[in-house]
Amino acid sequence: MLAESAKLFGLFVATALAEIVGCYLPYLWLRRDGSAWLLLPAAASLALFVWLLSLHPEAAGRVYAAYGGVYVSVALAWLWLVDAVRPTYSDLLGVGLCLTGMVVIMLGARNA
């Protein structure tokens, strides 16, 4: 069960990274005078995001709900590592709440 949960969490993280990269690259193009060529890897990253979503074992609505918690976590890690903005205490508290909600959704689905 633990190995399966770790694998699922890793899949959530990979899905979130693909979505964030797919959205960050057009942002660089539009707001930071990046090259229009950034749109090609952005499109590939968003296609990867959609494909990764299809690999999740639960119903799509439940996956989207649980994925939201991981997405918030990865987005704040991105804030810290890429944008060089240190998350605040309230950011970390919010991530904890989101991840707790994700665990409740995913474990509740298995027990239903």
Could you state, in order of their start, the residue ranges of all structural domains in the chain? 2-111
pLDDT at 3: 80
- When the pLDDT of each residue in the chain is averaged and rounded to a whole number, the result is 88
Is the pLDDT at 111 greater than 70? The verdict is: no
Comparing CA positions, the residue from 61, 50, 53 lying closest to residue 106 is 61
Considering only 44-53, 56-65, 99-108, which range has the smallest mean pLDDT?
56-65
| HSE value, Cβ hemisphere, 13 Å, CA-based, for 54 | 6
Find the mean pLDDT for residues 16-27.
Answer: 94
Find the mean pLDDT for residues 27-39.
Answer: 92
**pTM (predicted TM-score):** 0.78
Is the pLDDT at 58 greater than 90? The verdict is: no
How far, in Å, CA of 33 to CA of 10, rounded? Answer: 33
Share of the chain above pLDDT 70, in %: 93
